[in-house]
Amino acid sequence: MELQTIAQTQKQMATQMQESLVRRADEQEAALAQMRREFKELEREVQGYNRSNSPRFDESGQREVDELQLVAGGWSEAKREHIEADARAMFEKLQATPLLKGIFIPYVRSSFCRIEIVYTDENVWARRKVQSTVLQHLKGLNFQSEIAGQEHAKFWFARNRTPHERAKIRAILQTQSLRLKFLDETLVEKDWRGKVWAAGTQVLFHVDRDTRPVQTLMLVDARGNETGWFLNVAQLVARLGATQEAVLAFFDAKSRAAHGDGRVPRSAQREAARASGLSERQHVVQARFAGSGAFGDQPRRSQGRAANGVLHCSRQHAPPPACPGSGGSTLFHSLEVPPQIMFLQEVGDVKDVALGGHDERLYDIAGVEFVGYVANPTLSHRSLLDMISTRVGLDLGAPLGATWVLMERLRLMDWALTDALSDMHESFPEWSQHIGELPHFLIYADDLIVFADTEAGLQAKVHLLVHALQRIGLQVNPHKCKVLTEMGGGACPGIWLPSSAIPLRGEDRLTFLGIPLGHGVGATTIMAHLLRKASNTFFAFKRLLDDAATPLFVRLALFESFVTAKWQWAAPAMFPDKRTLRQIEARKNTYLLSVCRVGAVPEWVHAYPSDTSAPMWCDSLRLM
C-alpha cells in the first residue's frame, strides 16, 4: 500500500514537472519570437537610416553621371555584347586593360557606351589627369571593329557629361551662333560657365538664377524639351539690330533641321504643294528644277535626267520623247534602263530620283548595268505617274523607304537564283520524289537557309547559290554562315565556301527569321526564344513608351506592332501547352500595365488563361 502511494506521488510530481517544463519552453519560444520581431524592426530602422540612393540616381531622383567616366560612340545600332567586346578590345590594344572598370550600355542595341575607369588616387586632379591621358590615347587609336556590319564605323570619344552640362553647352553654342549671324565676331564673347556677351551685355539666362521677362525664348535640347536656359527677346532685338521675326526664324530653322532630314521641312512642302495644286512629290521635283532657293544647296548629280522625265510625265500625262538608240527606254536613257526596272528601283522616293541617286543605287545593288527594252513605254510611264500622284493607304499602297530596298533585292535575287533552282532540280531528282514538301533553300532579304540530305548535296547547293549571287555582285559573309550538326550532337558536316579553305562553323541550333531550328527544338523552345526577343524589344522601346508626350494609342500601337508580334507571327507553326500560354498572357499583362500607366490591380496582374480556356486556345492554334 505504501509502495503504491509512493509510486502515485512520484508520477504526479513527474507530470507536474513535465507540464512546467513545457510551459517554460512555450514561454521561452514566445519570448524568442518577440525578440526576433523586435530585432527585425530595429534592423529595418537602421537600414532606413543608413540607406543610400541608387548609384545611378542622385538625391533629387535624377540620374547621376560621373564626369570622370568616358563615352565612346560610333556604332550603328550594334548589339550590347558586341559593343562591350569592342570596348574591351580597344583597351587591350592600348595595353590598358587594368584601367577598365566597367562598361555601361543603356539599350539592347545602341550606338554608344559609357566606360568606367579605375582610379587609385583620391585626388580629383590626379584622376582628371588619368582620364585625359586615356582619352587622348583612345582618340589616337586607329581601331577597326571586327563585328559584321561595323567594319567601317568611325569611333569617337569624349568625357562623360551630365544632362545639365550638355544643355548648358548647347545653349551657349546656340546663342553664340545667333550673335555671329547679326554681329561681328569681335563683339561676341562666351564663358563656358553659362554666359554669353553681345556688345558687352550678358544675354544668356537661366531660370534658377534669373527672372524671366514677359517675352522669353526658351531654348530646347535635341528632343525638344526645355532646358531652363532662355533669351530675352526684347533685349535681343535691341542688341542685335534685327527684327523679332528674324530671331525666331533663326531658331525655328535650327529646330526643324535637327528633327528633319536637313533639306526642306515636310510641313513647308505640304503647304506649298497644296497652294500649287500638285501633289507633294510632284511639287518637290518641280521646285527642285525651277530654281527654288530652298533646294539650292542640293547637289546636282546626273543633271536631273530622271527628275526631268518625272516632271514631264506629271505635266503632259505622256512619256517624254525617246532618245536615239535608247530602244524605247525613255526615262533613264543614259543607262538604257527600261521603265519597269526604274519603277522597281527608284520611284519609291522621288527626292532620291531628283538628286540623281539612281545611278549609284543601281550599281550598288545589281553590280552590273541593266540594259533592257520595253514593248509599251506609255503604260509603264502611266504606272509611274499613278505612283507619284495618287495617295493610298499604307496597307494597300506600294512600299516606300527601306521597304523598297528590301523588295528590290528580293526581286533581284529571285531573278538571279532561278537558274540555280533549275540546276538543283536536275542534279537532285530524288529530292522532289522523297522530300517534296521541303524546298532546296529559303531566302528572305539577306537571310538564306539551304536544306540537303547528304553532306555532298549540301556542299553542291551552297556552291551553286554562292556563284549565282556573285554574278549580281552579292557576296556571302563566311563569318555569319553556320552548319547544323548531325542528330545526337555528332560530327559537323564539312562544308566550305568557294575560294575558302576554312570549313564553316557548326552549331547545335540555327536561327532563321527569328525562329530557332534544330533536331531537338520544340514548340516550348521556340516560344521561349520569341518571348525573350519580345522582352528585349519592349525594353528597347521603353524610353519612348515612358515619354509623357507619347499618346496612349501610339504606345499601344507600338506594343502591338513590335512586342506582341514577336510571339504571334509564328503561332500557326507551333502547338503551345497550357503553361506556355499562361506565360504569354502574364507577361503581356505585365507589359501593358507599364504601357497604359495604370495601377497594379491584383486581378490584372494575376490574370492568365483558365484551365478551360487554355485547351480551347491550343485547339484554335492547331486549326490556323
What are the extents of the domains in the chain?
1-37, 70-160, 164-276, 340-349+398-518, 523-623
Which backbone phi and psi does 213 adopt, to 5 degrees? Answer: -80, -175
Between residues 162 and 53, the one the model is more confident about: 162
What pLDDT score does 362 carry? 33
pLDDT of res. 601:
38
Mean pLDDT over 31-35 rounds to 82
Predicted confidence at residue 406, as pLDDT, reads: 57
Grid cell for residue 5:
502511494
Model confidence at 227, in pLDDT bands (50, 70, 90)?
confident
- At 227 the three-state DSSP class reads strand
Confidence (pLDDT) at 257: 41
Please give the distance of CA 619 from its chain centroid, rounded to a whole number. 36
Amino acid at 327: G
Backbone dihedral angles phi then psi of residue 373, each to the nearest 5 degrees? -130, 160
Please check whether residue 467 is in contact with residue 443, taking contact to mean a CB–CB distance below 8 angstroms: no
Q: What is the pTM of this model?
A: 0.35
The pLDDT value given to residue 572? 64
Q: What mean pLDDT is reported for the chain? A: 66
For the ranges 269-278, 427-436, 554-563, which has the lowest average pLDDT?
A: 269-278
Which span out of 72-76, 181-185, 530-534, 548-552 was modeled with the highest average pLDDT? 72-76
pLDDT in tens, 379-410: 444 444 444 444 434 343 444 444 555 566 66
Going by DSSP bridges, is the β-strand pair 505-507/482-484 parallel, antiparallel, or unpaired?
parallel
pLDDT at 333 over 70: no
Orientation angle between helical segments 455-470 and 402-416, nearest 10 degrees: 120
| pLDDT grade for 48, boundaries at 50, 70 and 90 | low
Tell me what pLDDT residue 61 has: 45
- Report the pLDDT value the prediction gives residue 431, as an integer from 0 to 100: 78
How far apart are alpha carbons 94 and 106 in whole angstroms?
A: 25
pLDDT above 50 for 316: no
Task: Please give the CATH topology (third level) of the domain spanning 340-349+398-518.
Answer: Alpha-Beta Plaits (3.30.70)
pLDDT of residue 389: 40
State the amino acid at position 256 in one-letter form: R
Q: Residue 505 contacts by C-beta under 8 Å, 6 or more apart in sequence?
A: 481, 482, 483, 492
Determine the pLDDT at residue 487: 67
Give the model confidence (pLDDT) of 489-538 as tens digits. Answer: 556 777 878 877 777 878 877 877 777 777 777 777 777 777 777 777 77
Q: How confident is the model at residue 146 (pLDDT cuts 50, 70, 90)?
A: confident
Asked whether the predicted pLDDT for residue 623 surpasses 50, the reply is no
Answer whether residue 100 shows pLDDT above 70: yes
Q: How far is CA 332 from CA 356, 407, 564, in A?
A: 10, 20, 44
User: How far separated are the first and last CA of the chain, in Å rounded?
Assistant: 93
Q: What is the DSSP letter of 485?
A: P
Q: What band does 259 get if pLDDT is binned at 50, 70 and 90?
A: very low
Q: What angle do CA 322, 324, 329 make, to 5 degrees?
A: 40
Helices within 2-123 (DSSP H only): 2-50, 80-93
Rounded-to-integer distance, Cα 249 and Cα 301, Å: 30
| Higher pLDDT among residues 369 and 288, named by residue | 288
How many CB atoms within 10 Å of residue 257?
12
Weakest mean pLDDT among 42-51, 219-228, 279-288, 454-463: 279-288
Q: What is the pLDDT of residues 167-209, one digit of tens each?
A: 888 888 877 777 777 777 777 777 777 778 777 777 788 887 7
Is pLDDT above 60 for 241?
A: yes
The mean per-residue pLDDT over the stretch 45-61 comes to 49
**Better pLDDT: 47 or 400:** 47
Q: What is the pLDDT of residue 278?
A: 47
Residue 210 pLDDT: 78
pLDDT of amino acid 384: 45
- Write out the three cell numbers for 442: 529559303
What radius of gyration, in Å, describes the C-alpha atoms of the chain? 35
**Which pLDDT value is given to residue 502?**
75
Residues 6+ apart with CB under 8 A from 509: 484, 516, 517, 518, 521
Phi-psi region of 547 (alpha: psi -120 to 50; beta: other; left: phi over 0): beta
How far CA 409 is from CA of 196, 338, 418, in Å, comes to 53, 17, 14
Q: Residues 116, 117, 121, 127: is their CA dihedral positive or negative?
A: negative
Select the more confidently predicted residue: 208 or 157.
157
Mean pLDDT of 147-162: 83
Q: Rounded CA gap, 611 and 95, in Å?
A: 60
